Chains A and B, each alone.
Chain A
Amino acid sequence: MTTRPKTDGAGDASREPTADSQWPLWEVFLQPGSGAPHEHVGSVHAVDAEQALQNARDVYARRGEGNNIWVVPTRSITASTPDDMGPFFDPGNDKPYRHPQFYKAPRGVRL
């Protein structure tokens, strides 16, 4: 059901860095403002987490776009696969009773 990811921003995660290395790949998540959720913005190459953070700041936050950054090794991300999208999400698709529109209220009553 799940595979190693090639998420947005991620290259082939199974590939080892080569000579004249571009270094391992890290996915970058930026929190645009206080209280906002972190959002994926892209990736950077870096030797370690500290450098990944610095590179992410220089590449994705040159204009104060965020107040917090997460970097995650690309190879650590597991993602669902588009091919299995139907069966994988199926349990949530046929349960209209999970939505308020499923239920009726007397006319004129504000809920």
Chain B
Amino acid sequence: MDQPQTASAEDTARNAEFEARIARGETIEPKDWMPERYRRQLVRMMSQHAHSEIVGMLPEGNWITRAPTLRRKMGLLAKVQDEAGHGLYIYCGTETLGVDRHELVQQLLNGTAKYSSIFNYPTLTWADIGAIGWLVDGAAIVNQTMLAKASYGPYARAMVRICKEENFHKKQGFEMITTLAGGTPEQRRMAQDALNRWWWPSLMMFGPHDKDSPNSEEMTRWGVKRKSNDELRQRFINLTVAQAIAIDLKIPDPMLRYDEGTENWEIGPIDWSEFWRVVKGDGPCNRERLAARRKAHDDGEWVRVAAAAYAEKQAGTSQAA
């Protein structure tokens, strides 16, 4: 009779102890007790993050064969390979929460899992590859630097590793854009056009305004997020506007102004209808990205089968010997 009561009293005590650990700044490790909702929210957040790394390879992979020089090609290949690695670090972190990677991959392939909307925009010119490194990786670094202090140990550790590597991504992108911005009038136009198209989607990467972000409050209370969407966005804006000015490109926002009082660059309104449209599946490339991902998975089937058959054969041989 009083068993449920005991269980819930115990749960309340454990919850309180958990919240106290978070408040003391302790790191939560896989085998530690955690509220089921903390676990579920982390699985959601981390798997979305992992999927984003994987899908993020597609817009850039599109340009590997068309890189203008061998130097650029090597850099881009290394960057795309890093993104695969980043996906794996985070999948591995997510698995510590007791989910199987197979399930997560299925959710990506059948369209039930989300990934960052930014990867549903097309890469129309070579300058877009520079803009992605500069803006998209730049925004990711701002976000991931914060997540490197997240309360969940495996996630935080994956972020530390990722941040180190992404600095190369951002720098190679900015070098590309700088080269184009200082090139022929046509190259300059390409660089400006890429900035025009990627600026607003990059700002949307930080998610809705704090007041419209349903998960933020809880993730902040649990120490997964240490800064709000708007704080991170503002930090990115301040860093990036200065960089655009340095290479004489124009941020596509007629309302952009510097506020002496706050020392912030203030932007005009973000078109959130576009953001929600892309999130809900109607971005320029949503269907194409998933189709490419499914094809890659299916085309890799024979490799997985062959590797398993080889391992089985080897195991048989060593037993016989």
- Taking Cβ atoms with an 8 Å cutoff, the residues of A that contact B are 5-12, 15, 18, 20-23, 25, 41-45, 47-48, 51, 58-59, 62-63, 79, 81-83
- Taking Cβ atoms with an 8 Å cutoff, the residues of B that contact A are 29-33, 78, 81-82, 85, 88-89, 92-93, 95-96, 98-102, 105, 153-154, 157-158, 161, 165, 301, 304, 307-308, 310-311, 314-315
Which of chain B's residues have a CB closer than 8 A to the CB of A44? Answer: 88, 92
**A97–chain B nearest beta-carbon distance, Å:** 29
Cβ contact within 8 Å between B307 and A10: no
Which of chain B's residues have a CB closer than 8 A to the CB of A10? Answer: 30, 95-96
Cβ contact within 8 Å between A11 and B304: no
Cβ contact within 8 Å between A42 and B92: yes
Cβ contact within 8 Å between A22 and B101: yes
Asked whether A21 and B92 contact (CB < 8 A) given A12-B100, A62-B85, the answer is: no
Cβ contact within 8 Å between B311 and A51: yes
In the complex, the chain A residue whose C-beta lies closest to that of B154 is A8
Cβ contact within 8 Å between B100 and A15: yes
Which of chain B's residues have a CB closer than 8 A to the CB of A79? Answer: 31
Quick one: which of B33, B95, B307 contacts A25, CB cutoff 8 A?
B95
Cβ contact within 8 Å between A21 and B102: yes
CA of A8 to CA of B105, assembled, Å: 20
Which of chain A's residues have a CB closer than 8 A to the CB of B95? Answer: 9-12, 25, 43
The 6 A-B pairs with the shortest beta carbon distances in the complex, nearest first, are: A47-B311, A11-B95, A48-B311, A22-B101, A43-B92, A22-B102
**B319–chain A nearest beta-carbon distance, Å:** 13
Asked whether A45 and B101 contact (CB < 8 A) given A6-B31, A62-B82, the answer is: yes
**A50–chain B nearest beta-carbon distance, Å:** 8
Asked whether A18 and B100 contact (CB < 8 A) given A23-B308, A44-B88, A62-B81, the answer is: yes
**B17–chain A nearest beta-carbon distance, Å:** 11
Which of chain B's residues have a CB closer than 8 A to the CB of A59? Answer: 85, 88-89
Quick one: which of B32, B98, B153 contacts A11, CB cutoff 8 A?
B98
CA of A15 to CA of B30, assembled, Å: 16
Cβ contact within 8 Å between A22 and B100: yes
CA of A12 to CA of B96, assembled, Å: 7
Cβ contact within 8 Å between B314 and A18: no
7 A-B pairs whose Cβ atoms sit less than 8 Å apart in the complex: A8-B30, A20-B301, A42-B93, A45-B101, A51-B307, A62-B85, A82-B33
Cβ contact within 8 Å between A82 and B31: yes
CA of A97 to CA of B100, assembled, Å: 47
Given A11-B99, A58-B85, 14 further pairs, Cβ under 8 A: A6-B96, A7-B30, A8-B154, A9-B154, A10-B30, A11-B98, A11-B101, A18-B102, A23-B308, A42-B89, A44-B88, A51-B307, A59-B89, A62-B81
In the complex, the chain A residue whose C-beta lies closest to that of B297 is A20
Which of chain A's residues have a CB closer than 8 A to the CB of B315? Answer: 48
Cβ contact within 8 Å between B31 and A7: yes
Which of chain A's residues have a CB closer than 8 A to the CB of B81? Answer: 62
In the complex, the chain A residue whose C-beta lies closest to that of B164 is A63
CA of A58 to CA of B32, assembled, Å: 30
Cβ contact within 8 Å between B100 and A8: no
CA of A9 to CA of B98, assembled, Å: 10
Which of chain A's residues have a CB closer than 8 A to the CB of B33? Answer: 82-83
Which of chain A's residues have a CB closer than 8 A to the CB of B85? Answer: 58-59, 62
